[in-house]
């Protein structure tokens, strides 16, 4: 009897765990960050829908950005910059700005910049730079573990995400407005005479037709 009760309890626990896992799976949001190095733009795609698109700076020809699929490994607010023995504390002069999202490839990340004019250009050491206002908004929309795709050459996916081609606006052709005009050479008295004459003519024609029947 005790064994039967334990067996039923175990089944209930397993069923509850399955339901909990299913509920968690339904609540998981899939985020993918797609960066087109050729277009110099970044798109945040959430559950297959484009949520935001940002202009970015990418690696310059001598220090190109890597290409491939990675993920966000860490997120840091007000990072300290270290490079070639140089250390820059958080502040306006920090080369990586106010946020750092390190990728799963060592030495590369998505971050800010102290050179805002570089956005939209191939100007970095290989990282992805963002403008401060965009960076801080984007930082709050992503999480550790999110997928990051760095695409070198434009493909079908990036063409759809970043196309700037706008459909031409429909051209509406104005229709001419027809208006009735009275000849300036016919005064009201003449117009009344002509109208009466026309009516009398039609009346006379009708009488002739009636007589012929």
Please report, in angstroms and rounded to a whole number, the separation of the first and last CA atoms in the chain: 116
Question: Which structure tokens are listed for 159?
Answer: 């063409």
Phi, psi of 146 (to 5 degrees): -65, 140
β-bridge partners, 55: 41
Please report the domains of the chain, with CATH numbers, ordered by start residue. 31-161 (2.40.440.10)
CA distance 148 to 45: 10
Catalytic one among 82, 83, 125, 127?
A: 127
Provide the 8-state DSSP code for 29: -
Give the tens place of pLDDT for each residue, 129-160: 999 999 999 999 999 999 999 999 988 888 88
- The pairing of strands 109-111 and 128-129 is parallel
Residue 167's H or E segment, with its range, is: none
Residue 67 has pLDDT above 60, yes or no: yes
Residue in 82, 83, 111, 125 annotated catalytic: 111
- 205: tokens are 């024609």
Task: Determine which of 75-84, 109-118, 126-135, 195-204 has the lowest per-residue pLDDT on average.
Answer: 195-204
111 is catalytic: yes
Token readout for 61 is: 């020809």
The pTM of the full predicted model, rounded to 2 decimals, is: 0.65
Whether 127 is catalytic is yes
- The number of residues making up the chain comes to 213
């Amino acid at each position: 009897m005790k064994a039967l009760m334990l067996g039923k309890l175990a089944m209930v626990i397993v069923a509850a765990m399955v339901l909990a896992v299913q509920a968690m799976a339904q609540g998981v949001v899939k985020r993918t960050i797609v960066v087109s190095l050729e277009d110099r733009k970044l798109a945040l795609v959430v559950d297959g829908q484009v949520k935001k698109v940002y202009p970015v700076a990418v690696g310059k020809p001598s220090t190109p950005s890597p290409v491939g699929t990675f993920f966000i490994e860490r997120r840091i607010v007000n990072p300290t910059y270290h490079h070639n023995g140089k250390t820059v504390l958080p502040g306006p002069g920090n080369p990586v700005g106010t946020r750092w999202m390190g990728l799963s490839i060592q030495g590369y990340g998505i971050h800010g910049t102290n050179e805002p004019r570089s956005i939209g250009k191939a100007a970095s050491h290989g990282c992805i730079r963002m403008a401060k206002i965009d960076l801080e908004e984007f930082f709050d929309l992503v999480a550790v573990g999110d997928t990051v795709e760095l695409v070198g050459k434009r493909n079908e996916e990036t063409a759809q995400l970043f196309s700037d081609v706008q459909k031409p606006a429909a051209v509406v052709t104005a229709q001419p407005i027809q208006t009735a005009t009275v000849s300036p050479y016919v005064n009201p008295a003449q117009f009344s005479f002509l109208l009466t004459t026309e009516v009398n003519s039609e009346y006379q024609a009708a009488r002739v037709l009636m007589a012929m029947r």
